Amino acid sequence: MRLNRRAVLGSLAAGAAVLGAPMVMGQAAPRVVVVGGGAGGATAARYIARESSGAVNVTLIEPTRRYYTCFFSNLYIGGLRDMESLGHDYGTLASEYGINVVHDWAVGVDRDARTVALAGGGSVPYDKLVLSPGIDFKEGAVPGWDLSAQNAMPHAYKGGSQTELLRAQVLAMREGGTYAMVAPPNPYRCPPGPYERISMVAHVLSEVNPTAKILIVDPKDGYSKQALFEEGWQKHYGGMIERIGPDFGAQNTSVDPAAMTIDIDGAVESVDVCNVIPAQRAGKIAHDAGITDGDWAPVNPADMSSRADPDIYVLGDAAQQGDMPKSGYSANSQAKVCANAVLGALTDSRVFPARYSNTCWSLIAPEDGVKVGATYEPTEEKIASTESFISQTGEEPEVRAATYQESIGWYAAITADMFG
């Protein structure tokens, strides 16, 4: 066991905390602009506003008035949560934390002038910019599919209406029909997400359409929590689920949304629902800002600042940081490190060494919850995993039920941590 007595502060005795608002360096209140009000951005905005007690001016740019979480959206598909319980608005961030919430799209970043341009016109100046725009889909990743096909073949990989559409399609499937998922290649948001979705679709179908089939077309050799999912699928859903991997040509898949067919390495199948989850990249604004290298935006592991620009920080799915999975939990954890660093740069507040953590819960069937998680530390090169754990196969039902209950507690806590 590692010794972990961290006297990093060196000032424990003298460290009688100076309470109250941190002092700002310079004259006018420094300005922080946060783009994206999701897991990373909402958390960062809230922590910067709260910890600075008004000494820092925080603007949050987010086009939607209500954010529907992707986390727990599979439970909605499984009929275990209603959509309203997944929706969160920005009222408290504005009224209690004094955050200037602007419902608009950021369409450009002028890094020399340090301004963010808005779709509605005008621009917002910043001293520090935080980008947490989430993901976009890579064009041409699944031949035959593009965003114009998302009604016929939903991705349901951004929250809200796409999730509702997919559940409606599952419920409307003909008796004995086929639900197909084209799973994404690595890296993508929420590694166990597609497989939790399969579990929840199987749960619904086993109740309303028990002769239906589920087909996963997966370009990856293996996936997160695979042994746990496979054990659970066997136990709860018998032979309903079939997975075609790269050994059968799954990486060579195309779709025809008009015909509702899927072509797997030359073999054409008719399907009733086709959930296409394409390959992903950082949200467009990160590319427009010119801070990406390939698909993602590389960051410094110690504080989530961009490797390309010290005045920009990138959080969550868009960041290329190392070992942390692209999850809401990770984005929330990274946001706190970023908030502390931003406050340290703009005010006299103390900067603490980064610490990151993540836990991802997944539901295999009602009351059958599993989890995987780790703690992380920054190294020069990346955010590196230090200690980790994963649920075991063959666990008692009481353990799984308790794990599910934990996930409910986590959902309530993290959404409060994001939105106040």
Partner 1 sequence: MIRRGLAALAAAVLPAAAAPDHELVHNEIADILALPADTAYGAWLASECTSCHGVGTEGGIPQIHGLPAGYIVGALVDYRLGARQHEVMQTIATRLGEEEIAALAAYFSEAD
Ligand X SMILES: Cc1cc2nc3c(=O)[nH]c(=O)nc-3n(C[C@H](O)[C@H](O)[C@H](O)COP(=O)(O)OP(=O)(O)OC[C@H]3O[C@@H](n4cnc5c(N)ncnc54)[C@H](O)[C@@H]3O)c2cc1C
Q: Tell me whether residue 320 or residue 358 sits nearer to partner 1 (CB atom).
A: 358
Which CB sits closer to ligand X, 318 or 346?
A: 318
| Cα→Cα distances 384→189, 235, 256, 311, Å | 18, 35, 41, 24
Q: Which stretch binds partner 1 (CB under 8 A): 55-63, 230-238, 258-266, 347-355?
A: 347-355
Cβ-based nearer residue to partner 1, 270 or 379: 379
What's the closest the beta carbon of residue 97 comes to partner 1, in angstroms? Answer: 15
Q: Does 10 bind partner 1 (CB under 8 A)?
A: no
Q: Which of 7, 20, 112, 175 is in the footprint of partner 1 by CB under 8 A?
A: 7
Query: At 67, which helix (H) or strand (E)?
Result: strand 66-68
- Is there binding between residue 225 and partner 1 (CB under 8 A)? no
Q: Which of 52, 45, 26 is CA-nearest to residue 350? A: 52
**In the block, residue with structure tokens 């922080």:** 32
Cβ proximity to ligand X, 192 vs 219, nearer residue: 192
Residue 277 CB, nearest approach to partner 1 (Å)? 25
Does residue 6 bind partner 1 (CB under 8 A)?
Answer: yes
**At its nearest, how many Å lie between ligand X and the CB of residue 86?**
11
For the beta sheet containing 178-182, the strands, ordered from the edge strand earlier in sequence to the opposite edge, are 241-244, 213-217, 178-182, 273-276
Q: Would you count residue 384 as binding partner 1 (CB under 8 A)? A: no
Q: What angle do CA 179, 180, 181 make, to 5 degrees?
A: 130
For residue 106, the partner it binds in partner 1, ligand X, none, with Cβ less than 5 to 8 A by kind, is ligand X
Question: What is the enclosing helix (H) or strand (E) of 338?
Answer: helix 328-346
Q: Which is nearer to partner 1, 18 or 147 (CB)?
A: 18
Question: Does 2 sit near partner 1 (CB under 8 A)?
Answer: yes
* Minimum gap (Å) between residue 348 Cβ and partner 1: 12
Q: Which residue has the tokens 């666990």?
A: 395
Site string (45-84) toward partner 1, x via CB under 8 A: --x-------------------------------------
Kindly provide the residue ranges of all beta strands, DSSP E only, lying in 366-413, ordered along the sequence: 368-378, 383-390
**Helices 397-419 and 328-346: angle between axes, nearest 10 degrees:** 30
Q: Which two tokens stand for residue 286?
A: 């990160």
Q: Indicate the residue whose CB is closest to ligand X.
A: 38
Q: Does 413 help bind partner 1 (rule: CB under 8 A)?
A: yes
How far is the C-alpha of 122 from the C-alpha of 109, rounded, in Å? Answer: 12
Question: Between helices 39-52 and 397-419, what is the axis angle to 10°?
Answer: 60
The residue within the footprint of partner 1, chosen from 69, 150, 300, 332 (CB under 8 A), is: 332
CA-wise closest residue to 90 among 56, 33, 42:
42
| CA distance linking residue 198 with residue 384, whole number of Å | 30
Determine how many CB atoms are found less than 10 A away from the CB of residue 245.
17
Minimum gap (Å) between residue 73 Cβ and ligand X: 5
From the list 201-209, 216-224, 255-263, 400-408, the region that binds partner 1 by CB under 8 A is: 400-408
Give CA–CA dist 257/278, Å, rounded: 14
Q: What is the closest distance, in whole angstroms, from the C-beta atom of residue 15 to partner 1 in the complex?
A: 5
Look at the alpha carbons of 225, 227, 228, 230 in this order and tell me if their dihedral is positive or negative. Answer: positive
Our finding on whether 336 is near partner 1 (CB under 8 A) is: yes
Interaction of residue 329 with partner 1, rule CB under 8 A: yes
CB atoms within 10 A of CB 397: 9
Take residue 393 and report the two structure tokens written for it: 């196969």
* Number of residues engaging partner 1 in binding (CB under 8 A): 47
- Given a contact cutoff of 8 angstroms between Cβ atoms, the answer to whether 78 and 203 are in contact is yes
Q: Which residues contact 177 (CB under 8 A, 6 or more apart)?
A: 209, 212, 213, 271, 272, 273
405 binds, among ligand X, partner 1, none (CB under 5 to 8 A by kind): partner 1
Q: Which residues of this chain interact with ligand X, rule CB under 6 A?
A: 35-41, 61-64, 67, 70-71, 73-74, 105-106, 132-134, 157, 189-190, 193, 197, 283, 285, 315-318, 326-329, 331, 360-361
Residues 6+ apart with CB under 8 A from 412: none
Does the protein bind partner 1 through residue 333 (CB under 8 A)?
yes
Among partner 1, ligand X, none, what binds residue 340 when CB lies within 5 to 8 Å by partner kind? Answer: partner 1
Note the residues at the interface with partner 1 (CB under 8 A): 1-7, 9, 12-13, 15, 17-18, 47, 329, 332-333, 336, 340, 350, 352, 355, 357, 359, 371, 373-375, 386-389, 391, 402, 404-414, 416-417
